[in-house]
Amino acid sequence: MPDRRCVDDLTIEELEQILLIKRREARRQRLRRYAARGWLSEEAPILSEQSERQEARESLVHPRSSSLAQPPPAESETGRFRSISMEPLGEQPGKSGRESLPEQEVNYRSQPAVRPDTLIGRLYPEARMRVLEDPALARMKVGVLGRWLNVQLEPEGPQGWIAAWYVTDHAPVPEGPPPLTRVRVQSEIGLNVRAGPSTSTKKIWHVPDGTVLDVLEDPQGAAAKIGVHGEWVHVRTPSLHEGYVAAWFLSADVPPDNRRPAVDAVLPFGECAWIFGIHGVGVNETRDFRHLFQGSGKTGWALFTEGIGRSPSSLGPDAHRRNRLWQWARGGYGIIIRLNYGYHTAGTLPESQHYEAFAATCARYAELYLKHPEEDSRKYTWTIVIGNEQNNPREWPREGHPPEPITADRYAHAFNLAYRAIKGVLPNARVVPGAVDPYNAELQRPLDYFLQMLEGIEELDGFALHTYTHGPDVDLITTLKKFTDDPIKDHYYDFQAYRPFVEAIPPKWRDRPVYITETNHWTKKDGSLGWENRNIGWVRAAYEEIHRWNSTPHTRQIHCLLLYRWQGDEWAIDIKDQVQVDFKMALSKDYRWRR
Residue 303 to residue 282: CA distance in whole angstroms: 9
Query: Predicted confidence band at 131 (pLDDT cuts at 50, 70, 90)?
Result: confident
Which contacts (CB < 8 Å, 24+ apart) does range 101-107 have? 101/126, 101/127, 101/128, 101/129, 101/171, 101/172, 102/126, 102/127, 103/172, 105/41, 105/80, 105/81, 106/77, 106/81, 106/82, 106/162, 106/163, 106/166, 107/76, 107/77, 107/81, 107/162, 107/163
Q: Where are the domains of the chain?
A: 31-60+80-168, 182-251, 266-586
With a cut of 80, say whether residue 124 has pLDDT above it: no
481 in helix, strand or coil? coil
Other Cβ atoms within 10 Å of 178 Cβ, number = 9
CA distances from 449 to 431, 435, 452 (A): 19, 11, 5
With a cut of 70, say whether residue 214 has pLDDT above it: yes
For 64-112, the pLDDT digits (tens) are 333 333 333 333 333 323 334 443 333 233 333 444 444 456 788 888 8
The distance from CA 56 to its chain's CA centroid, rounded to whole angstroms, is 52
Pairing of strands 250-251, 182-185: antiparallel
Helix axes 538-551, 577-586, angle to 10 degrees: 30
Nearest residue to 416 via CA among 366, 455, 465, 364: 455
Contact 554, 212 (CB under 8 A): yes
**Region of poorest pLDDT, from 17-21, 38-42, 236-240, 351-355:** 38-42
With a cut of 90, say whether residue 309 has pLDDT above it: yes
Nearest residue to 259 via CA among 540, 455, 551: 551
The 3-state DSSP composition of the chain as helix, strand, coil percent (nearest 5) reads 30, 20, 50
User: What's the mean pLDDT when you consider all of the chain?
Assistant: 85
Instruction: List, in order, residues 6 or more apart from 92 with CB less than 8 Å away.
Output: none
With a cut of 50, say whether residue 210 has pLDDT above it: yes
- Specify the pLDDT at position 113: 85
Contact 187, 94 (CB under 8 A): no
Element (H, E) at 325: helix 319-330
- Specify the pLDDT at position 141: 83
Q: Is domain 182-251 classified as CATH 3.20.20.450? A: no
Q: What is the third-level CATH fold of 266-586?
A: TIM Barrel (3.20.20)
- Specify the pLDDT at position 109: 87
Contact 365, 306 (CB under 8 A): yes
Query: Predicted confidence band at 177 (pLDDT cuts at 50, 70, 90)?
Result: confident
- Specify the pLDDT at position 20: 63
- Specify the pLDDT at position 99: 45
Write the DSSP symbol of residue 534.
S
- Specify the pLDDT at position 354: 97
CA distances from 95 to 154, 155, 488 (A): 11, 11, 77
Q: What is the mean pLDDT of residues 571-578?
A: 97
Contact 334, 301 (CB under 8 A): yes
Q: What is the mean pLDDT of residues 121-134?
A: 73
Contact 390, 469 (CB under 8 A): no
For 12-46, the pLDDT digits (tens) are 666 666 666 666 666 666 666 655 555 555 444 44
The distance from CA 152 to its chain's CA centroid, rounded to whole angstroms, is 48
Query: Predicted confidence band at 501 (pLDDT cuts at 50, 70, 90)?
Result: very high
- Specify the pLDDT at position 158: 81
Instruction: List, in order, residues 6 or more apart from 368 with CB less than 8 Å away.
Output: 315, 316, 317, 318, 322
CA distances from 63 to 51, 53, 161, 406 (A): 16, 15, 20, 90
Whole-model pTM over 0.75: no
Q: What is the mean pLDDT of residues 468-496?
A: 97
Other Cβ atoms within 10 Å of 494 Cβ, number = 22
Other Cβ atoms within 10 Å of 114 Cβ, number = 20
Residue 18 to residue 252: CA distance in whole angstroms: 57
Residue 466 to residue 392: CA distance in whole angstroms: 13
Residue 18 to residue 30: CA distance in whole angstroms: 18
Q: What is the mean pLDDT of residues 373-377?
A: 86
With a cut of 90, say whether residue 394 has pLDDT above it: yes
Element (H, E) at 99: strand 98-102
Residue 304 to residue 329: CA distance in whole angstroms: 12
Higher-scoring residue by pLDDT: 375, 459:
459
Query: Predicted confidence band at 450 (pLDDT cuts at 50, 70, 90)?
Result: very high
Residue 448 to residue 105: CA distance in whole angstroms: 56
Residue 529 to residue 539: CA distance in whole angstroms: 17
**Region of poorest pLDDT, from 25-29, 147-151, 176-180, 451-455:** 25-29
Please write down the HEC assignment for all residues of 395-433. HCCCCCCCCCCCCHHHHHHHHHHHHHHHHHHCCCCEEEE
With a cut of 50, say whether residue 292 has pLDDT above it: yes
